[in-house]
Structures are given as structure tokens and as C-alpha cells.
Structure 1
């Protein structure tokens, strides 16, 4: 497949997330279309020249489509439950109205017009019926529309849930393919070779991130001189490594009273984490109480620490292009919460996973928010 055609499909599937239209049905259908496009992209990655990049973008497209589908399902569930509660609350009124309409429909018109008081009473009753009938019909039409909408929303939720299941299977397939493509990749340059013995000694002898970071140069053998291009001119414009929002800013304490100089991002389960710029992998693996950690060097003197990943990609010493996948978040993105309760006011998939991000310059923490493009209102 030609690269140009793949990129066109990619832009169609993973463009800016569409804003909700206000109609749950339309939004769910649009989300289903995005998932279908993501599925087509997955098939197209077989012929892509840079398969790692193509699969990474396909996973992003799936993530966006799944987010939109969950949001559509959430809004459809809320609307359906709102209508159902309204109809339940008016159950007696609905029963009386249906009884009147059925009686009117079954009785001959002349019988309805007769009145024991004679012609005058009959005339008056006719005038009353003439006044009441349009109002009854209007109320009946309103109820009919709401009942039809409830039925449509229930059918929509089932159909959308099936599409969501398919999307989850597709994104899992893409993640598996990405892991294999990364393992098969042989074209990345390598700045140095890791000395595994020295790495083990460094891990055993340090009890702080600062101490570990200061000894990273000791684990490198045959390191190539020089540095990657600087990132100073991109200060304030770097993309966050994962699609999420800021949970804690530098220095803010967590529930245990622990504060760190980096930021904590909350994101969806199994979200893809990428490097915001070209960087050398200085370390990847478990570290202290940070979980799985990826330490990247975008230029000499700068270290980007990403902690809390479930899966890490790449090898120590490799030079990664900007936007390369470096890992996946943990958690399960199953379908147990496909149709959410109306009381659940969260938007889309629950953001339950946290990624810690720290930026160090000459082994001193600096404020990452000055370097990365973020929503300042988070």
C-alpha cells in the first residue's frame, strides 16, 4: 500500500475529536464510523514502510474512536434512563389517557355526542370534546415519540456495545502487532551498549531517582560522542507523552502525603505512551517504587522520566524518533462498563491509570509544565 494513501486514511480516522452533536444516536454512529476507519487502517499497516509508526497511529485512532463510542454510549444511557423515569412517573396519567383514547376510538361518533340533557347538553358535550380532543391527541403524540425514542436508544446501545467489543478486539490486535514490530525492528541507531552488570549494581546501590539518574552514564559502553538536536526552541510546545489530563502538579502531595517534582497524568487503561521528541533510551525497566520506568535523553543534560507504565518498549542505548511508542499503561479496557448508569457522570472511558512525568536538567528537576503543551485549566 502506498504511504500517501495510508496517511490520508489516518487523517480521516485520527483527526481532531469531533464535538458531541447533542444527539446520542448521531454521535454513536459517528463513533462507529471512526472505529471502522481504524479497522481499515489496521489492515493497511501490513504494507506500510514504517510499520511501527503506522501501528502507533492506528492505535491512537482506535483510542480516539473508543473514547467517542464510550461517550456516545454514556449519553445514550443517560437519555434513555431519563425518559424511562419520566414515563414511569407518569404511569397513571398514561394509563388514563390510553383508556380515554381507546374508548373514544372504539365508540361510534354519534354515541359520543349523545347527552341525557337533550340537544343542548349534546351540543355542549360536542363543544367540550372538540376542545379536549386536540389536547389529548397532542399528549398522545408526545408520549408516542418518547416511547419510540426509548426503544431506539435501547437498540442503539446494543448495537454500539457490539461495535465497542469489535473495537476493543481491534486495538488489542494492533497492540500485539506493535509489540512484534518493535521486537523485529533493526534499523534504529544505537548511541551506546548497556553494561547489564553495572546497571544491576547501580539499581542495588541507589535509593532515590536522583542518585540513579546521576549514575546513568556509568552503565554506557562505547557511547558515541555528541548529542541529539536541542529542544530549547520547542519549550512550551512539546506534546504530552500520553493522552490524559493533569492530576497533580509539581510539589502537590498525593493521598499519602508524598510530593514529587514532576507531574502526574491520569489517563485511560492501556493507553499508548510515546516520546514527545527524538531521544536516546537511557534506561527502561523497574526502578524503586516507581514501577516500570522509561528514562529518555532528548539532548545532553536533559532527562525525561516516565514512570508507572505496565509495558515498556525499546532497548537501552537506542535512539528513538519523535512520536515513537515507549510503552503502554496498565489496567483493563474491557467492556464491563460499556453501558454506564446515568448516575455515572464521567466522560467516556474511566481514566484510572496514572503516569508520572519528571524532567531533569543537569540532574535537577525542572517544571515540566513550562516545556509541555497542556490545558492550563486542568
Structure 2
């Protein structure tokens, strides 16, 4: 197996010998007994970018190829979500193009499924003056998704967090949008560790009060709610929500720290999944979920457990920069030819962070092509002044 000279936190270098074994691909997309959405990233196009902070260019061929990779492993795709850098490099115009292309691509793949993020990110929070402004912004994006044959994931709104003054304001906005939706919608509870502008969402910084508001919105609109994704990185809070959801409304874990135990469940209830980490560990998660569906809990645990320390490293604070680790692994695994991101977001993490991701990915059997990963890691380190 290849070796790589990796930096350590104490300022020294170590010869790291890879030990991981790639996970074999299934002959056909496996069946799961959990609904599993992988939130997918976009691939930038450095050949066409002249102002990457202001006008990122997207490599649409590589971006669509990655979606085929996820579909081949049995996943649904959560499209144009925060993993695709919504509001951090991908604006609404770019998201529209992504949604159009992905929905069209899905129609060429038997059994492929995806839902699309619809939010208010084309409305600057500073420009939002009223709830009607927020409603109009949501209506525009949900209508766009539905017009192109898609189902909506109703993303949390920075603009709503700014103008809302009470839980009733959230009830009004969500009630209006859900009441108009053609299909059932997935709600999205994104914690402020992912986006500081969402602090106090649902009208309160207190979890119990926010929970009551969420549950009342779901109960009042349960015929239009498929489920809710909760991303608070706190398994106890997710279980509290899961226990109180109405019959037929699904809980989708967005907990990239504790997803393994939440997906497995407690013997009575379990969470489905809508996770950014599935982008990075798709073959391992696919194998684990297929084993769980067949009743092989032992294999599920054995395969998925090593991915959890990797995920916790990728999603460590500042959590909103997790996208950099996801794309780093896509590059190491050969899904794209470069390690650049829209808005230059690869600079949001440091050298030691990426070195730790490399180690943990190897230990979790996430490096699909160890020789390629080692070669690319060496080139990355060389740019940082480290060489064998």
C-alpha cells in the first residue's frame, strides 16, 4: 500500500501507510428499508472561472456524473441544498440551472429520485421588509421546482429568521406555502451551527418552544408534509422530535455526528436520512444500509461505524465549512479532476484538517482508489511546501 508524508499537530511529519480496503460496488442499485437522501455537492469549473468569489462556474458534466454515482448506489438525491453551497457560492440562478439539469437527468435513469431545495436565498435578508416578501420568495422557488416536475424541500430562510417576530409568523409563512404545494414537502430544520443567520428559527432560541411550533405547523398541514429533516447535531433533540411526529410524517436525520445510531433506531422508531456526509461516504453507507435492510445489523454497524469519526471531523466547527471536506474526498476519489470549489471555499479549512480527513477516510475504507488518493494527497501537500 502507498505511503504519504503527513503533517501532525505538533509540527512534525509522519510516514502514513494506507491500510483501507475499497468497498465493492453493487451490480445494481440496492434496496433499503430506510429512505436515504444524499445531499450532493456541485463541481466547479476552474477553466472557466475568472471571478470565482463573485461568478463561480460549474462543471455540469462532472456534477451530473456524480449524481449518477449516487443513484447507482441506491440513494435518492437532495438537490440544491446547503451541500451544493446554496448561499455560500451557489446563488438562485445557479441553483435553477442545477435543478433543471438534475430533474432532466433523473428522468433518464430508471428508479432515480430526487427532491429539490426551495428557499428564499434570492431575497437578501436585509431587503426583506415583511412576511409577504418572504412568502413571495418561497412561492417563486417552490413554483420553479414544481414547474420542472420536482418535489420541494422547504429550506430554512434567513429572510424569515430576520423579519419574523413570533412563532405565529412562522405558522403563517409555512401554512401559506404548504397549502399551495402540489405534492408533499420535506421541511428543513437547520441549526445555527450550520448557518448563524438561522439563530432563533421557529420563533425561539429555546428548543422546547421551537419544537412546539414545528409540531403545530406539521399538525396543521400534515397532508402536505412528507417529513422533516432535523440538523441540530444533537441526537436527544432529534429523538424528542421523532417521538412526537404525527403518524405518517417521517423524521429525516440530518445529524452528521450521530446518524448511525439514529438510522438504526431504538427498536421502536428510527430515522430516515437526508445527509451531506452520504455524498462523501456513499459506497460505505450504501453497503451498510443494504445490510440493515436484509436484517444484518452487525454488518451495518461494522461498515458505518468507522465513517462516523470521519464525519465528525468534516463537520467540526465552524460546521458550515463542511462542504470543503466533502469536495476534498470527491477529488481524492477521482470524481473530479481538481480541488477547487465555488467561491474558493476550499480555503475555509486548513492543512491539518485535510490531513486528518485523509487519515480518517483511509481508516473508514472511504478511499476508493488508494493509489490515486495517495498521489493526489502528495500533490496537495507539495503545494503547501511538504514533500517526501
Band the TM-score falls in, shorter-chain normalisation? under 0.3
With structure 1 as the length reference, what TM-score do the two structures score? 0.20
With structure 2 as the length reference, what TM-score do the two structures score? 0.19
Bigger RCO of structures 1 and 2 (CA < 8 A, at least 6 apart): 2
